[in-house]
Structure 1
Amino acid sequence: MLRPPVGVAIGVAVTAGIAGAVQPRINAELAAKLGSDIVTALLSFGVGLLILLTIAFSRRSSRIALRKIPTAPTPWWTYFTGFGGACAVTLAVVTVPTLGVALFSIALFSGSVLASLMVDRFGLGPTGHRPLTWQRGAAAALALAAVVSSQMGVDLYSFESTTVFYLIAVMLAGALTAFQSAGGGRFSAAVGDPVVSAVVNFSGGTFALGMAVIGLHVFGHLPSLHPPSEPWWYSGGALGVVFVTSAFIAVGTLGVMRVTLAMLAGQLSGGVMLDLLPSGPGLHGGVIVGVVLIFVAVMLSNRGQTSEKDNDQTSPGET
């Protein structure tokens, strides 16, 4: 699979981030109407999987890549990275009522950015080992400052008994999304198609959430559901397809940390656009500062960067 140029890859990752800014809001609205957080997450993954399968079976290259799934020359753990996405989507609709959007965002991106440093450092992504330089450390610090700045002026919820547990869970989910990008990028390189890699990713997430919903139903803990009839309430799955597939395309060029920062730049920029809508809360200075800081972080993250695989297509540690 050919890697896109750096500029194109950054644009793709930023686009993924914009989709990622809109998806949680749609899913939160759907959860409120439907009456179940976990069923909302299952619907998001299920709709996304149907879209991906439709695309995959309509493309000859994807059909060829689908046949490579059982024997793909990639580590076993890359088959299961969809569970990280399932955790993040589920926690988004479960914890926001307690944490608030501000604390949730800070915890999720803190986990994702810090884990992406380690994922690149140990060569788990498709670009191989990327050393932990001071530039990359500074870029991570700027990214965290950007997230905190963007939430300035937002009312942070007071701590409740479950708040600390939720914060730890969300940070771990954020860390898992870094492994999701790494595993998806490696699987894309192995089969030669990011769409098929996304199919594997969404299949894992859909299976995990489906088993959870079945368990809740068997033990009588699944509430009565009230699905809305309007189709646009289910568009979170389509946005998830854009988010995940774009990340898998870009990570082969940028590495996990830089693609994480670029997606964060897209999410903050997408948040600005949503805030400017008539129904939005409007802009405040912290958001503007946050957007500037994150784009500086994206540029800084490439300074002094080297990779053992810049000219090599073989992933490290493949068995």
Structure 2
Amino acid sequence: MDQHRVPVLLGIPLAVLGGLAVAGQGRINGALGARLDDGLAAAAISFGSGLILILAVSLASPSGRSGLRAIGPALKARKFPRWYVMAGAVGAFLVLTQGLTVAVIGIALFTVALVTGQSLSGLLVDRLGISPAGKKPITGIRVISAVLTIAAVIWAVSPRFAQAEDASHWLFPVLLPLAAGFLMSFQQAMNGMQSLHYGTPLAATVMNFAVGAVILLLAWLVKVWISGVGNPLPGEWWYYLGGALGCFFICLSAWLVRGLGVLLTGLGMIAGQLLGSLALDLIVPTPGTVIAPATWLGTLLTLLAMVLATLPWPRKPLR
């Protein structure tokens, strides 16, 4: 089998697994930000620990060391636009957005905004062909699947909308996760292209975390200079798992987009995020958690949208 192709029956379950990691990372980073009273510090810790972990794994692996050695020559030969290395800035923005907005607009509005942006940009990125999967036409079924996904997520989180305050309170903050979701598809495409030319997603993940960690560290230092540090670091080990989950998600998505394309990878991960969030709310609920029939049915509808996008429908593009 071509090493750059990912069978749909394998790729979609893996994308869902990656989405589960995103849900877990969001819960952990949110809890760490609340404990520190500093969402920026939580984001920096997540990226810093992720960078240390992925560097250790890469140095311990022959393919990882080979990928790290390939970074310089690939950039020098301009095998892809050099600004692709800034994919880590998108990850940093996403993690920072979690800490800045979830407490203001609630997890329901955050999820809807993130998924809306991700679904729309998945269509655009596939059409532009900036991922290793190349150009994929905007067909009717792909549009239907994206729209159905957005509707399903809104339905799934609708029981929590009642907790939101008036529109003037959340209208501006909701633009941040909307922008983060829109940029996520570009991040996946850029990481996938780097992974192709480095020969392994490990090297692309190292670059992603290195760039994001530097950006977040500089931002945190500015914050400390202005307003000082937050609370002391917690002693519980699980607060520091966000970086490991981020490594898993970014490395996996960089590999998956090479065969599935950005839209299918994104839809699978959206389904995983909903399933993971539902599982977390059932097992370790947070204050204000609401699980209603709409939560279950909206999650099932998201899975249906993902299945529709994978079926061999006619490929005639929309004009």
What's the TM-score once normalised by structure 1's chain length?
A: 0.91
Give the one of 172, 185, 188 matched to 1:181: 188
Deviates more, 1:171-180 or 1:290-299: 290-299
Identical aligned residues as a percent:
35
C-alpha spacing 1:304/1:129, structure 2 compared with 1 (3 Å): farther
1:102 aligns with 2:116: no
C-alpha distance in structure 2 between counterparts of 1:23 and 1:103, whole Å: 18
**CA RMSD of the aligned region, Å?**
1.8
Q: Give the match for residue 63 of structure 1.
A: 65
Partner of 2:281: 275
* Separation of aligned partners in 1, 2:54 and 2:306: 29
The structural deviation recorded for 1:233 is 0.9
What whole-Å deviation, never above 9, does each CA across 1:196-249 have from its counterpart, x for those lacking one? 11111111111110111122233x223333110122111111111111111112
Q: Give deviations 1:159-204, integer Å, cap 9, x for gaps.
A: 3645222122221111111111010111111111011111111111
How do 1:57-96 residues align onto structure 2 when only pairs under 5 Å count? 57-72=59-74, 73-96=79-102
Greater share of residues in helix: 2
- Name the stretch that deviates more: 279-288 or 146-155: 279-288
2:214 matched to 1:212?
no
The 5-angstrom pairing of residues 134-283 of structure 1 reads 134-154=140-160, 155-159=162-166, 161=168, 163-218=170-225, 220-277=226-283, 279=285, 281=289, 283=291
Amino acid at match of 2:46: S
Alpha-carbon distance between aligned partners in 1 of 2:278 and 2:169, rounded to the nearest angstrom: 30
How many residue pairs match? The answer is: 306
CA contact (8 A) 1:88 1:173 kept: yes
Match of 1:40 among 39, 42, 52: 42
**Match in the other structure for 2:307:** 299
Per-residue deviation, 1:306: 6.0
Check conservation: 1:35, 1:226, Cα contact below 8 A. Answer: no
Deviation at 1:276, TM superposition (A): 2.2
In the TM superposition, residue 279 of structure 1 has moved relative to its aligned partner by: 4.0
Give the alignment partner of residue 130 of structure 1, picking from 124, 129, 136. Answer: 136
TM-score of the superposed pair, with normalisation by structure 2: 0.91
Distance in 1, matches of 2:14 and 2:315, equals 21
C-alpha change, 1:51 and 1:149, in structure 2 (3 Å) is: same
1:292–1:279 Cα change, 3 Å: closer
| Structure 1 residues 258 and 206: alpha-carbon distance in aligned structure 2, compared to 1, 3 A threshold | same
Instruction: Note closer, same or farther for the CA distance 1:278–1:206 as it changes in structure 2 (3 Å cut).
Output: closer
Which deviations, in whole Å up to 9, do the C-alpha atoms of 1:235-267 show, x marking residues without a partner? 111111111111112111110011000001111
Establish whether residue 289 from structure 1 lines up as the match of residue 297 from structure 2.
Answer: yes
For structure 2, list consecutive stretches of 5 or more residues without a partner in the other structure. Answer: none
Contact 1:114–1:140 under 8 Å retained in 2: yes
Give CA deviations for 1:23-82 in whole Å, capped at 9, x if unaligned.
111111111111211010000011111110010000011101101112322222210011
